[in-house]
Amino acid sequence: MKVQGKDFRTIWRKPNSKSVFLIDQRHLPFEFVIEEIKNVDEMCTAIAEMHVRGAGLIGASAAYGMALAAEQGIKEADFEVHLRKAGEKLKATRPTAVNLAFGVESMLETIRPGDGNEENAKRITEAAERFANADADMCRQIGLYGSKIIEDIHTLNPGRPVNVLTHCNAGWLAFVDYGSALAPVYEAHRRGIPVHVWVDETRPRNQGSKLTAWELAMEGVPHTVIVDNTGGHLMQHGMVDICIVGSDRTTRTGDVANKIGTYLKALAAHDNNVPFYAAMPSSTIDWNLRDGIKEIPIEERNQDEVLCFDGMSEHGRTQVKISPEESKAANFGFDVTPARLVSGMITERGVTKANEESILEKFPERR
């Protein structure tokens, strides 16, 4: 997608380079910083400290991290053990998004025990590239299927823009390219369908006001940042036509774990008859799970993210304290929206209802 008119992915390799390059998202929207990652430990730090974030992107980062571990482990006596250790380190960085484990496991599956280390490393390097490309391809398809839903809403109300509400950042910054929840918005915008996005700021880390607003601005999509508690009011007044959010882990029954606060938006949407869609590539579906509330691990992060506010002032990047010294905070990163509140799931194979039977119609190989 575009940054100052130039095409970028969130993560990439350069020909003949031993490193991986990524957009360090901690600096957005104030500065555009590219970071060079030289080894798997640096990749673990980049994921844990959210230089990269978003389900699809941390999956691709894990795959590239495994490629670095493989390339640098050619002299290891037990190559497979070395790679499994690297995979465990990567998987320990963040618990909720299943793509992380999927990225690691997909790389481990390419190892052929009978082959030499060099051959196996080469295979993992190529597999990581394919993994990243597949993430971008799935998101592009989500854009094509999802834009049809936006187009249908526009056909019913041709005189005004379609108002989409989104939470957190499920745009291209959360994937390798295109995004999940925002891919339909970008595709509709490209096709000349008037669209406007209500952007939840998404405390505590403000992925909405910092990242979603930035990427929409770069693509010239009209948008308005709102505080997280505004959605219900807007829905009561007919100012939201559709909610589209991403997912960090989806059960085979259609429960959706996404950034904390998503569930409350789904409840408000349900109460106001606003369609509530979750957009996700199938790499986000955890086929082993049936009950999202009981089974999906929810990340808890440092309380300083809640007790402080981070932004830019005339003195540069600044963190200010916004609570009494004595106060503690709880910082749950995600919540689970039960399938009954999800109107539909936008996947790379089309739109499905949020229930096991409908999901399996699109993914029959998972029966």
Q: Which residues are catalytic?
A: 248
Helix (H) or strand (E) holding 88: helix 79-91
Could you say which of 200, 219, 241, 248 contacts ligand MRU (CB under 6 A)?
Answer: 248
Per-residue DSSP letter, 21 = E
Per CB under 6 A, contacts with ligand MRU among 8-47 are none
| Sign (positive or negative) of CA dihedral 350, 351, 353, 354 | positive
Is 54 an interacting residue with respect to ligand MRU (CB under 6 A)? Answer: yes
Which of 120, 125, 212, 247 touches ligand MRU (CB under 6 A)? 247
Closer Cβ to ligand MRU, 170 or 296, answer by number: 170
Q: Cβ atoms within 10 A of the Cβ of 97, count?
A: 31
CB of 263 to ligand MRU, least distance (A): 12
Choose one: 15-23, 108-116, 189-197, 244-252; the region binding ligand MRU (CB under 6 A): 244-252
Q: How many residues does the chain have?
A: 367
- Of positions 40, 68, 86, 170, contacts ligand MRU by CB under 6 A: 170
Q: How far apart are CA 10 and CA 2, in angstroms?
A: 11
**Piece of 48-56, 112-120, 234-242, 268-276 that binds ligand MRU (CB under 6 A):** 48-56
Find the shortest distance in angstroms from Cβ 232 to ligand MRU.
Answer: 19
How far CA 183 is from CA of 7, 180, 330, in Å, comes to 15, 5, 32
Q: Does 231 bind ligand MRU (CB under 6 A)?
A: no
Least separation in angstroms between CB 115 and ligand MRU: 34
Q: Is 246 in the site for ligand MRU (CB under 6 A)?
A: yes
Residue 52 CA to residue 174 CA, distance in Å, equals 8
Calpha distance 30→224 (Å, rounded): 18
Q: In DSSP terms, which residues pair with 319 in a beta bridge?
A: 310
Closest approach of Cβ 50 to ligand MRU, in Å?
6
Q: By C-alpha distance, which of 156, 168, 356, 155 is closest to 253?
A: 356
Q: Does 56 bind ligand MRU (CB under 6 A)?
A: yes
- Closest-approach residue to ligand MRU (CB): 246
Q: Using CA atoms in the order 265, 191, 57, 137, what is the torsion angle rounded to 10 degrees?
A: 130
Q: With beta carbons less than 8 A apart as the criterion, state whether 205 and 50 touch.
A: yes
Any contact of residue 207 with ligand MRU (CB under 6 A)?
Answer: yes
Q: Which residues bind ligand MRU (CB under 6 A)?
A: 53-56, 168-170, 174, 180, 207, 246-248, 258-259, 333
